[in-house]
Amino acid sequence: MTETTAFDPKKYLTRVNGAEYLEVKWRLVWFRSENPNGRIHTELVSHQDENAIFRAFVEIPEAGSATGWGSETAGDFGDYLEKAETKALGRALAALGYGTQFCPDFEFGADDNRVVDSPIDLSRTRARRVNGNTEQSAATARQIKFLFAIAREAGISDEELNRESQELFGRDAEELYRRDASAFIERLQQRREATHAAS
């Protein structure tokens, strides 16, 4: 009779921005090794103007479930659809404890040479804008509409949203660049999920 060895996530850690990080593929191996009957469902929620938003639902029967969201644009990755799905899945797994020990927070987003769901450094993206980098394209109307809708669901007024946008990105929400809007959407989705989980 063979004895099964428990998955040890520490063996598969990598370093991202100086922090220990567990790639989504290893989170999946970990999840499946402990929950062979666990359920995973991903869904493309929106795909417009080269911007994709995925939702991932992960469930451990009789033990809990979590939803994760991920968005990416073609400007960030050529395979942005796959990256958005991976990001959503990684977040759902992290919410169930598969990876959270190795991630400093849930603020994932656009950063140069990043892995798909590594922590975002908002100060770096702001510094690029302040220094006159105009390579980023303006956020799409759909992104802005979605941003305000998520904020309202999280109980955030338009004024509060703009104030937070100014603090994070140095401009009102309606004037955000596409990458920043994507990062802000992800931030608010996590806040909304936390609010729903608490109620």
11-67 pLDDT, tens digit per residue, is: 888 876 667 778 888 899 999 998 889 999 999 998 988 889 999 999 988 878 888
* Mean pLDDT score, 160-181: 86
Which phi and psi (to 5°) does residue 66 adopt? -150, 150
* The two structure tokens encoding residue 123: 């100060």
DSSP state of 115: -
Task: List, in sequence order, every beta strand (DSSP E) within 17-114.
Answer: 19-22, 39-48, 51-60, 64-73
* The two structure tokens encoding residue 43: 């869904």
Q: Where do the H-state alpha helices sit in the chain? A: 24-34, 80-95, 122-130, 141-153, 158-169, 178-198
Tell me how far apart the alpha carbons of residues 199 and 197 are, in angstroms, rounded to a whole number: 6
Which three-class secondary structure state does DSSP give residue 119? Answer: strand
Which three-class secondary structure state does DSSP give residue 116? Answer: coil
R_g (Cα) of the chain, nearest Å: 17
Q: Is the pTM of this model over 0.75?
A: no
User: CA angle at residue 114 from 108 to 116, to 5 degrees?
Assistant: 55
What pLDDT is stored for residue 63 in this prediction? 79
What pLDDT is stored for residue 114 in this prediction? 47
DSSP state of 104: S
pLDDT at 117 over 60: no
pLDDT at 199 over 60: no
Tell me how far apart the alpha carbons of residues 31 and 3 are, in angstroms, rounded to a whole number: 19
